[in-house]
Amino acid sequence: MTTTIAVDCMGGDHGPTVTVPACRHFLQRYPDARLLLVGRPEQLSALSSETRVSIVAATEVVGMDDPIEVALRRKKDSSMRVAVQQVKDGAAQVAVSAGNTGALMAISRYVLKTMDGIDRPAIAFGMPNARGGATTVLDLGANVDCTAEHLLQFAVMGSALVSALEDNAQPMVGLLNIGEEVIKGNDVIKRAGELLRAAAASGDIQFHGNVEGNDIFKGTVDIVVCDGFVGNVALKATEGVASMIGGYLRAEFSRNWLTKLAALVASPVLRAFKDRVDHRRYNGAALLGLRGLVFKSHGSADQMAFEHALERAYDAARNNLLDRVQNRITRAVPLLESHVAAA
């Protein structure tokens, strides 16, 4: 079965200079994939002769600093919007963009709409952990202020994502808090804990309980739910680790012979760790809760990182992520509605 991906080739900091070669290499590795390259045709001509490529023209580009209103209302023929429209029209199973995050979320929500039972879509991303895998964290910036009900929705959607992409039928969920004890946290977190425990009791999710920030990297649970403000801070901190190690090695190699020797001895381990936490290897965040699949690549992604985003999107489409999320949400809606009514 062919998996078709609509690619916003103009988005991000680098546009076609990164997206086009990443698409070429991706096609070589996935012979059952087909790509719809969306953008200005003259900049995508390098792949026009590929048999599994179709070029979809778009005359406008959403800039990384464009306000959401401009992207949504004024640039109706942007490569970002046209790519998402391919999913809406059924021409593609998933869309990928490295463009403006706020604009991508707004456009995706406007074009595709949200699933029944979902108030706000969320951004989910896997952060490397000490167990050799990744901890999926959501939300990572789409929703700064969240209710307890939103956090329950994130847990359900995150469970569907992990079960679809990581062959984990019963992923464990943790609620990010300032401590493990049930009595800790603000009113929203305490209320969310109640909802998550009820969802676990009814079999909708597996709930570990409260977790702290270091549990993300320890791999204590498979999924961590939090509001978008906290999640985005955690994501940016993770991305800075690899850069810090690289800077440390460069600095130590430039000093005296003793520090150079110490850096030389330590560099294999440090470089292995740097590669392990390299955010490029985990690029590709899912926009969950929409009536269509959309994946967000980091705006500064290089060829390797963007290709990883394409791979994540491909896996999601091939493993029926959309149906899995909808099925889990459908089962959880009665539970959520009963708690909303009680409140």
- Domains identified in the chain and CATH numbers: 1-112 (3.40.718.10), 115-282+319-343 (3.40.718.10)
- Residue 343 is predicted with a pLDDT of 47
Tell me the C-alpha distance between 166 and 211, whole Å. Answer: 21
- Asked if residue 129 has pLDDT above 90, the reply is no
- Residue 273 is predicted with a pLDDT of 46
Q: What is the mean pLDDT of residues 197-219?
A: 91
CA neighbor of 36 nearest in space, from 58, 18, 14: 58
Q: Which residue has the tokens 């979809």?
A: 56
φ, ψ dihedrals at 331, nearest 5°:
-70, -35
Q: What does DSSP assign to residue 46?
A: G
Tell me the C-alpha distance between 116 and 246, whole Å. Answer: 45
Residue 335 or 54, more confident: 54
Tell me the C-alpha distance between 146 and 21, whole Å. Answer: 39
Residue 70 or 324, more confident: 70
Residues whose CB is less than 8 angstroms from the CB of residue 286 and which lie 6 or more positions away in sequence, other chains included: 123, 124, 125, 161, 293, 294, 295, 296, 312, 316, 321
| pLDDT tens digits for range 252-299 | 555 655 555 555 555 554 455 445 445 556 688 999 999 999 999 999
Structure-token pair, residue 86 = 């391919």
Q: What is the mean pLDDT of residues 102-115?
A: 95
- Residue 229 is predicted with a pLDDT of 92
Query: Which of 31-35, 59-63, 110-114, 241-245 is the least confident region?
Result: 241-245
Q: What is the mean pLDDT of residues 294-321?
A: 93
Strands (E), 49-191: 53-57, 94-97, 122-128, 134-138, 172-176
User: Would you say 147 and 188 are in contact if contact means Cβ atoms under 8 Å apart?
Assistant: yes
| pLDDT tens digits for range 26-80 | 999 999 999 999 999 999 999 989 999 999 999 999 999 999 999 999 999 999 9
Alpha-carbon separation of residue 31 from 2, 49, 59 (angstroms): 9, 16, 30
Q: What is the mean pLDDT of residues 306-321?
A: 93
Q: Say how many C-beta atoms besides its own lie within 10 A of residue 74's C-beta.
A: 12
Tell me the C-alpha distance between 107 and 99, whole Å. Answer: 11
- Residue 81 is predicted with a pLDDT of 98
Q: What does DSSP assign to residue 51?
A: T
> Could you tell me the pLDDT band of residue 240, with boundaries at 50, 70 and 90?
low
Residue by residue, DSSP assigns 246-290 as HHHHHHHHTS-HHHHHHHHHHHHHHHHHHHHT-GGGG--EEEETB
Mean per-residue pLDDT over the chain, rounded: 87
Percent share of the chain, pLDDT over 70 = 84
Q: Say how many C-beta atoms besides its own lie within 10 A of residue 16's C-beta.
A: 21
User: Would you say 310 and 26 are in contact if contact means Cβ atoms under 8 Å apart?
Assistant: yes
What pTM was computed for the model?
0.85
297 three-state secondary structure:
coil
| pLDDT tens digits for range 138-181 | 999 888 889 999 999 999 999 988 988 887 888 999 999 999 99
